[in-house]
Amino acid sequence: MDLDDLLRRYFGSTDLAALSPAVQSAGVEHALVDLGLEQDPGKRFALWTFLHLMGMAPDLDVAFEDQADREAARDFMDLMAAAEKDGER
């Protein structure tokens, strides 16, 4: 999944700053619904990471039944936190 494609799919634009709060909220809701319906583990993980970057991802125990998927998500969160710290230096 390409980030620009996801942004266009859920928000109709790649420029989130230009969108109204209502459009942003509707796009996140649409992504959450798709996450709940998605059966492919890879696509499900990609949608969760997209929502995480938007600050709207559901808790790991809600999003992933499989322990390995939850661990992968924790690893992703740790990498993102480390990248933020490196950017602050």
The string of pLDDT tens digits covering residues 25-69 is 999 999 999 999 999 999 999 999 999 999 999 999 999 999 999
* 3-class secondary structure, 89: coil
Please tell me the predicted confidence (pLDDT) of residue 8: 96
Q: What is the dihedral of CA 11, 15, 21, 27, to 10 degrees?
A: 20
Residue 89: pLDDT band by 50, 70, 90 thresholds? low
